Structure 1
Amino acid sequence: MMKVLVIGAGAIGGYVAARMLEAGADVTLLARGKRKAQLERDGLIIQSPSGDFAGRPPVIAWGEPAGPFDMAIIATKAYGLDEALAHMAPYLTTSTAILPYLNGMRHMEKLAEAFPGQPLLGGVARIEITLDGDGRVQHLTPFESFTYGRFRSFDDAHYSELRIQLSEIQLFTEKEDIETDMWEKYAYINVLSGLTTLFQAPVGDIRDAGAGLDTFRRAFAETNAVISAAGGHLGHALLDKQLRIVSNMSPGSTSSMLRDMQNGLPTESAHLQGYMIELAHRHGCEVPLLEIILQRLDIYERDRVRS
Structure 2
Amino acid sequence: MRLLVLGAGAVGGYFGARLAEAGGEAAFLVRPARAAALRRDGLRVESPFGDLALRPAVLEEATPGFDAVLLACKAWDLEAAIAAIAPAVRGGACVLPVLNGMAHMERLRAAFGPAAVLGGLARIQATLGEGGVVRHLNPWCTLAFGEWEGGASARTAAIAAAFAGARGVEARAVPDIRQRMWEKLVHLGTAAIGTVLLRAPVGAIARAGGTPLLHRVLERNAAIAAHHGHPMPDAFLAEYRALFADASSAYATSLLRDVQAGRPNEGEAVLGFLLEAARRAGQPADLHEAAWLHARCAAPPAG
Provide the TM-score with structure 2 as the length reference.
Answer: 0.88
State the alpha-carbon separation in 1 of the partners of residues 153 and 274 from structure 2: 32
Q: Deviation of residue 259 (structure 1)?
A: 1.7
State the alpha-carbon separation in 2 of the partners of residues 200 and 159 from structure 1: 38
User: Residue 90 in 1 paired to residue 97 in 2?
Assistant: no
Unaligned runs of 5+ residues in structure 1 are none
Cα 1:160/1:288, change in 2 over 3 Å: same
User: Residue 81 in 1 paired to residue 90 in 2?
Assistant: no
Cα 1:204/1:282, change in 2 over 3 Å: same
Unaligned runs of 5+ residues in structure 2 are none
User: Residue 5 in 1 paired to residue 1 in 2?
Assistant: no
> Percent same amino acid among aligned pairs?
36
Which of 253, 256, 260 matches 2:254? 256
8 Å Cα contact 1:95/1:118 also seen in 2: no
Cα 1:111/1:249, change in 2 over 3 Å: farther
State the alpha-carbon separation in 1 of the partners of residues 192 and 62 from structure 2: 38
Which of 120, 124, 129 matches 2:126? 129
Of 242-251 and 103-112, deviating more is 242-251
Pairing of 1:1-307 with structure 2 (within 5 A):
2-32=1-31, 34-61=33-60, 64=61, 66-93=63-90, 95-152=92-149, 156-169=153-166, 171=169, 172-209=171-208, 212-236=210-234, 238-248=236-246, 250-301=248-299, 304-305=300-301
- Matched pairs, number: 301
Matched residue SS, 2:245: helix
Aligned AA for 1:305? P
Structure 1 vs Structure 2 CA RMSD: 2.6
8 Å Cα contact 1:68/1:93 also seen in 2: no
Cα 1:138/1:157, change in 2 over 3 Å: closer
8 Å Cα contact 1:69/1:93 also seen in 2: no
8 Å Cα contact 1:49/1:142 also seen in 2: yes
Of 90-99 and 11-20, deviating more is 90-99
Cα 1:254/1:165, change in 2 over 3 Å: closer
Cα 1:45/1:23, change in 2 over 3 Å: same
State the alpha-carbon separation in 1 of the partners of residues 228 and 91 from structure 2: 30
Residue deviations 1:206-258, cap 9 Å, x none? 22335x22211221122122222222342235433321111125254322222
